[in-house]
């Protein structure tokens, strides 16, 4: 599985953030200095947060869709999937169990466990995560890793969790009208924003590489069955 097309999309979105940072550099002041009494500059700084978040959400959503498509294309039997992947692979059955009334409770439960053990080929909708990926926090990335059985922390470095959470919070404040872009950008230096852009870039590269390695190793298949699917590839 190759996710270079997602990397291209991430870079295009980060290019917009770099363009805005370039406008701030035109002022010519030190990167560590906050421009004073300049609402236009503050607005640009606020919009950088929005742009950075857009790159992050795009990366996670498109990367996850790519892995789901790869799993479906691998034609793995349901009974051969790693157990953790069933939380995604059996999403329609889990939803049926959740929504079943008292009369359908037991049939829907039987159908769920029968599906886990049968030899039919696993097919997963690439929108299985739905709106869960429409507001990407570090905890969202952690949950995605858990669902696929990826045994990695959500970020390459612990300190990046704080940067990413700040980006999400400030973007949400603008998107939901709690703060204006100008208010979000006030008090942030150019150097602050460069650090956060670097954190998003590092996270996107890390996330996509983790998904690609997981797919390449067929880690979504139980170990004793992986040889079957490697020889069929």
What CA–CA distance (Å, rounded) separates 64 from 91?
Answer: 15
pLDDT of residue 35: 58
Mean pLDDT of the chain, nearest integer = 88
Q: How far apart are the first and last CA of the chain?
A: 12
Q: Using one digit for the tens of pLDDT, what is the confidence trace for 119-171?
A: 888 888 888 898 899 999 999 999 999 999 999 999 999 999 999 999 999 99
- At 221, give phi and psi (nearest 5°): -105, 145
Report residue 92's pLDDT band, with 50, 70 and 90 as the boundaries. confident
Q: Quote the pTM value.
A: 0.88
* Average pLDDT of the residues in 185-214: 94
Q: Using one digit for the tens of pLDDT, what is the confidence trace for 50-67?
A: 999 999 999 999 999 999
Does 22 score more than 60 pLDDT?
yes
What CA–CA distance (Å, rounded) separates 15 from 113?
Answer: 47
């Amino acid at each position: 599985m190759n996710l270079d097309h997602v990397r291209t999309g991430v870079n295009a979105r980060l290019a917009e953030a770099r363009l805005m940072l370039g406008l701030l550099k035109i002022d010519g002041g030190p990167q560590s200095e906050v421009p004073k009494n300049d609402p236009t500059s503050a607005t640009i700084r606020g919009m950088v947060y929005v742009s950075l978040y857009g790159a992050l959400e795009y990366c996670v959503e498109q990367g996850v869709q790519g892995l789901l498509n790869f799993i479906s294309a691998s034609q793995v039997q349901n009974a051969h999937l790693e157990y953790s992947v069933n939380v995604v692979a059996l999403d329609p059955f889990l939803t049926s169990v959740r929504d079943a009334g008292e009369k359908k409770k037991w049939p829907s439960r039987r159908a769920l466990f029968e599906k886990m053990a049968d030899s039919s080929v696993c097919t997963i909708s690439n929108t299985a995560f739905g709106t869960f990926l429409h507001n990407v926090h570090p905890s969202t990335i952690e949950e995605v890793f858990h669902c696929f059985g990826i045994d990695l922390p959500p970020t390459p470095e612990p300190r990046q969790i704080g940067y990413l959470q700040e980006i999400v919070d400030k973007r949400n404040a603008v998107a939901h009208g709690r703060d204006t872009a100008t208010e979000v950008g006030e008090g942030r230096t150019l150097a602050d924003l460069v650090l956060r852009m670097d954190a998003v870039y590092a996270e996107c590269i890390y996330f996509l590489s983790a998904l690609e390695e997981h797919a390449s190793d067929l880690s979504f298949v139980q170990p004793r069955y992986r040889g079957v699917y490697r020889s069929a590839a």
